[in-house]
Structure 1
Amino acid sequence: MSATQAIAAMRSGTMTSEDYANSLLARARALRELNAFISLNEQDILDAARNADKMRRAGNTGGVLQGLPIAIKDSVNTRAYPTTNGTQSLKAFRPTANATLAQRLFSEGAICFGKTNMTELSFGWTSNNGTFGAVHNPHNFKRIPGGSSGGSAAAVAAGIVPIAVAADTLGSIRVPAAMCGIYGLRPTFGRYSGDGIFSLTSEKFDQAGPLARSVADLALFDAVQTGGAAATAVKSLKGVRLGIAPFYHSDLDPEIQQVTQEAYRKLQQAGAVLVNVDISGEMKSAFDVAATIMLYETMPSIARFLKEQQTGVGFDQLLSQVAPEMQEFMKHTALPPSRPPEEAFRSMVAQRAKIREATARFYRDHRIDALAYPAISALPAPIGEESDALVSGKKISFFQAYGRNTALGPVASLASLVVPVGLSKDGLPIALEFSKLPNQDQELLELGFALERAIGAISTPQFSPQ
């Protein structure tokens, strides 16, 4: 069931919240091998579901999400569960308040269906967590699900929950959405509150958002967070101009290339106009800009979170307990002496402003409604083999494979939607990302309905370890 279907069934009385919760919990137990959750309290979930049913029987319809289980990434503060951020030293950290984003869900009657596993400290795209274990991709248990919100994506793709909260600095909503074959929305920066959510930058890139199995569920989540009306399926693709930039289509896995072209053909048949024009040099520098800014701000951002949230843990203590492989990775990228120098950081902040201007100009000059491109350049890597990606017999860096195409979104603060478009011959998901200019989230979701209709659904996971 999608979230909207489940809500309708509970409201009509054809299904109780308790029955739905029991069904999802049974699925979670059967698929425990996915390792999608860090913490999950079955009794609390069932108690909340029974309370939702009791309220409904008493004539209190509650909020728009009444009785709906939603999983939450373990970087988002919740009072009912620890917020570990996927790391050892925060296993016992219990926030005193829910993150604003989570509270808005709960205020509308949503049930917290546990906290999901993730890349440690949100620092990477694998969800191969050295403390809590690797999250597995539901389409192939030996492959990564993407990260850092891999547990959220795996739980949604596997049908354990209809919606999960994720968070994205440089692809952490969109990469797992693409690898797990589900829909993901990275809203315009600041559209949803970041209060009480772990971040790797200081008010620049980090943005929470939803993962779901339908655009309608993303629109429902968006409406709850903004207080507005949910986007509806009223937009046709006829005359919609989609920018297709060669930069984003180079060095692609051949199967991604093939499935992408078939998806574009379907969109053209539905009336979309493909505008083949490359992006500017400034826009092509987005990954270097994003990486430099993020790596410079990672250490102070973590330290600030630890202090502001009164975790009782200092940065040095946290680092000393980080899993060895992640500790080495951080030392070689984000900690002195490897941390980018301040001069480089300031240069990239200035370059970011130029990229935002160039992006707005690009959309205007070419009359682009949205950019379209493969969300990632390579298929999900085998767990434990994440140093490089093999594309057409050529090794490309992990950063290029999974970060190049996702970088412009946070740098230019675009509203970005990931849409699953097909499967590889081995059943691994392939997805496109569609991006609109800032604050066009409602229009993007409307477009998403038309994209979903034109492309069609992909096969669901078969849950057989390979």
Structure 2
Amino acid sequence: MTASNEATAAEIVAAIRDRKVTAVSVVEAALDRAERLKHLNAFIVLNRDGALAAARQVDAGARTGALAGLPVVIKDNINTSDMPTSAGTPALQHARATRNAPSLQKLLDAGAVVIGKTNLHELAFGITSTNLAPFAGPVRNPHDTTRIPGGSSGGTSAAIAARIVTCGLGSDTGGSTRVPAALTGTVGLRPSVGNGGADRRYHDDNHVVPISHTRDTVGPMGRTVADVALLDSVIAGTPLAMAIPLRGVRLGVPACFWSGLDRDVETVARAACARLVEAGAVLVDVDMPDLFAQNEKVSFVVALHEPIADIPAWLAASGIEGITLADIAAGVASPDVVGAFGAITADAFGAAYDDVMAVQRPALQAIYAAYFRDNKLDAILFPTCIAPAPVIDETSGSGEMSVNGGAPVPTFGTMIRNTDPGSNAGLPGLSLYAGMTPDALPVGLEIDGPVGGDGKLLGLGLSIEAILGVAPPPKL
């Protein structure tokens, strides 16, 4: 007997624990499927020998825990001591950290088995996962391999959508767990970050190749909300989230998030809303008219100034010697990331940074706080991305796209429009499957909550998923 490709993480762990399957057979099947589907470019490296050795320990009773024997994947910007942490960029291709990131270590301590490290948008600076580094290549969406899987955690989402594994770790700065979840029909959590410290749900400082210490966080991704909730409970050390009935739950639906949508996305998302209302949810139709303008004052200033100090701090903390920020910038292979690192090395936004952190970001957070408070909301509900997955552009790494046949617009700004504000405010967000377009492309629906509301978001997500279902497997 082997574990089903549609089994949840908890079902796989239970089957191994009850000796209905062996951990070795489950892990070997995941590795073999990854090899068969290597055209997706979901992986930078497979960990066959290490994964099978760990699985044998599980079968021998030497490794136990809530995740014993569960195959998982890890985004290749998260530190691993037994494999390089390349962030998909040439200068770091062979860089190896001295110890695992804390979030990963908690999964390992619970018995999880890492089968490989996943591909990503180079240095996580983008949302297409069209990585033009020679050893990486563009990640392809399992539902349509001519299209992007989203990013920057595109490899993790592609591996999950393709049923190679049920779950794994990504990271999120402006949408990097949630955008790929939406575009591949999977689930992605951005946990609370708030202002750092006690607000932060996961603590991986200097153990993930950084963009921004203010905004970055590791985030669990899975085929189902239950898969994500299981990983979250292990990492956060909290009880497993339980479904929260939707009757009476108040969900804000600000017009700014629902404007300018691709017609097919809007049809799917509004049909999903109608089903939630039938289940008793209350949609609160109040706008946040100043939100996007305020977010623009914050986003790029933080993301393109903080790497100047954060990347050298990560190199030092990880014990990686002989590589500098200048070396990383000089080696970047993707043209869109070259542009970003030009702004970073020139510190193009340094003069505005202090004002952003002291005035503009708190003002953005105040908009959210007032919206939740004044409308007595449990969460904010909106389409994760305003359009389905666009076609891969292997020229720039990002490129342009069209919405509803309109003029070309930048892919990056278009696809993160709805995910970026909550990131800058430090809120938790959960993207889950809403339905399919007529072209069989997944559509994601996101719920954002106040800082610290992660458990409640997962509980609501479990109930929403029970109504809307999970995405069908891609035809691979």
TM-score (normalised: structure 2): 0.92
Aligned partner of 1:220 in structure 2 is: 230
CA contact 1:259–1:421 (8 Å) conserved in 2: yes
Question: Deviation of residue 333 (structure 1)?
Answer: 3.8
1:238-281 alpha-carbon deviations (Å, 9 max, x no partner):
01111111101111111001101100111011111111110141
Aligned partner of 1:98 in structure 2 is: 100
Question: Deviation of residue 200 (structure 1)?
Answer: 0.7
Pairing partner for 1:231 from 201, 226, 241:
241
Letter of the aligned partner of 2:229 in structure 1? Answer: A
Aligned partner of 1:65 in structure 2 is: 67
Aligned partner of 2:220 in structure 1 is: 210
CA contact 1:299–1:334 (8 Å) conserved in 2: yes
Larger mean Cα displacement after TM superposition, 118-127 or 284-293: 284-293
| CA distance, structure 1, for counterparts of residue 27 and residue 338 of structure 2 | 41
| CA distance, structure 1, for counterparts of residue 186 and residue 297 of structure 2 | 28
Letter of the aligned partner of 2:324 in structure 1? Answer: G
Aligned partner of 1:163 in structure 2 is: 167
Question: Deviation of residue 327 (structure 1)?
Answer: 5.0
| CA distance, structure 1, for counterparts of residue 442 and residue 220 of structure 2 | 18
CA contact 1:417–1:435 (8 Å) conserved in 2: yes
Question: Deviation of residue 194 (structure 1)?
Answer: 1.4
Letter of the aligned partner of 1:168 in structure 2? Answer: D
Aligned partner of 1:422 in structure 2 is: 435
Question: Deviation of residue 283 (structure 1)?
Answer: 5.7
Q: 1:259-408 to 2 correspondence within 5 Å?
A: 259-282=268-291, 284-312=293-321, 313-323=323-333, 325-326=335-336, 328-336=338-346, 339-342=348-351, 344-349=352-357, 350-384=359-393, 386-394=398-406, 395-408=408-421
1:413 is the counterpart of 2:426: yes
| CA distance, structure 1, for counterparts of residue 384 and residue 149 of structure 2 | 14
Q: 1:178-193 to 2 correspondence within 5 Å?
A: 178-189=182-193, 190-193=200-203
Aligned length in residues:
455
Letter of the aligned partner of 1:207 in structure 2? Answer: T
CA contact 1:283–1:355 (8 Å) conserved in 2: no
Compared with structure 1, are the counterparts of its residues 25 and 439 closer, same or farther at alpha carbon in structure 2 (3 Å cutoff)? same
Letter of the aligned partner of 1:120 in structure 2? Answer: E
Q: Secondary structure at the match of 1:393?
A: coil
Letter of the aligned partner of 1:328 in structure 2? Answer: V
4+ runs deviating over 6 angstroms = none
CA contact 1:280–1:358 (8 Å) conserved in 2: no
Aligned partner of 1:53 in structure 2 is: 59
Identity %: 37
Which residues of structure 2 form unaligned runs of 5+? Answer: 1-6, 194-199
Compared with structure 1, are the counterparts of its residues 52 and 209 closer, same or farther at alpha carbon in structure 2 (3 Å cutoff)? same
Aligned partner of 2:138 in structure 1 is: 134
Compared with structure 1, are the counterparts of its residues 421 and 327 closer, same or farther at alpha carbon in structure 2 (3 Å cutoff)? closer
Compared with structure 1, are the counterparts of its residues 399 and 54 closer, same or farther at alpha carbon in structure 2 (3 Å cutoff)? same
| CA distance, structure 2, for counterparts of residue 324 and residue 85 of structure 1 | 13
1:169-198 alpha-carbon deviations (Å, 9 max, x no partner):
111111111111101111101201113112
CA RMSD of aligned residues (A): 1.6
Aligned partner of 1:456 in structure 2 is: 469
Question: Deviation of residue 399 (structure 1)?
Answer: 3.5
Letter of the aligned partner of 1:384 in structure 2? Answer: D
TM-score (normalised: structure 1): 0.94
Letter of the aligned partner of 1:24 in structure 2? Answer: A
Letter of the aligned partner of 2:216 in structure 1? Answer: D
CA contact 1:205–1:411 (8 Å) conserved in 2: yes
| CA distance, structure 2, for counterparts of residue 244 and residue 111 of structure 1 | 40
Aligned partner of 2:209 in structure 1 is: 198
Aligned partner of 1:85 in structure 2 is: 87
Which residues of structure 1 form unaligned runs of 5+? Answer: none
Question: Deviation of residue 299 (structure 1)?
Answer: 3.0
1:404-438 alpha-carbon deviations (Å, 9 max, x no partner):
10112222211111011111111111011101100
| CA distance, structure 2, for counterparts of residue 399 and residue 31 of structure 1 | 27
